[in-house]
Amino acid sequence: MKRTRKIVTLETKMLVIKKMEAGEKCANVCSSLGLAPATVSTIMAEAEKIKQSAQKTIKLHASNVSYTRNFYIEKMEQLLTPWVDNLNQKRIPLIWRAIAAKASSLFGENQQNKVEMRHSLLAMDGLQGSSNAQVFIA
């Protein structure tokens, strides 16, 4: 039977870190907060990252972080989805570079869009300035 994952809020994680740093035993922290020992150990192993995240977060109990996506990325996904679905139906394997090249070709009519899309796609893969971005597109 599949178990559902329990989400531990940032506030709870900070409480675990404070209690453990105050010298409280792991068993006491686990029983008082209803967490498994492995969860407490994981939280303590990532304590520095959690503390940094808590400093950046306005509210400790924030569960969703939202951001605005690039318009060109949104548009590219809308145009690219039917192409990817078609290849999946034909059971043709996809590689990231082929998808990126197809996305670039979809925006070929407007050079500015193409340049911005290419920089965005290459930045996602860390290929900025790479000359290996040419891929055959089916």
pLDDT tens-place string over residues 79-135? 888 888 988 899 888 888 888 888 777 766 555 555 666 666 666 655 444 444 444
The predicted model scores a pTM of: 0.41
Q: Is residue 84 part of a domain?
A: yes
49 shares a domain with 77: no
Mean pLDDT of 41-61: 80
- The residue assigned the tokens 């999946």 is 88
In a domain, 66, yes or no: no
Tokens of 81: 């989805």
- Helical H segments across 46-129, by residue range: 47-56, 71-89, 96-106, 111-125
Verify that 43 and 85 share a domain, yes or no: no
Lowest mean pLDDT segment, chosen from 8-12, 36-40, 88-92, 107-111: 107-111
Does residue 45 share a domain with residue 80? no
Q: Is residue 16 part of a domain?
A: yes
Domain that holds residue 83: 71-125
Number of domains in the chain: 2
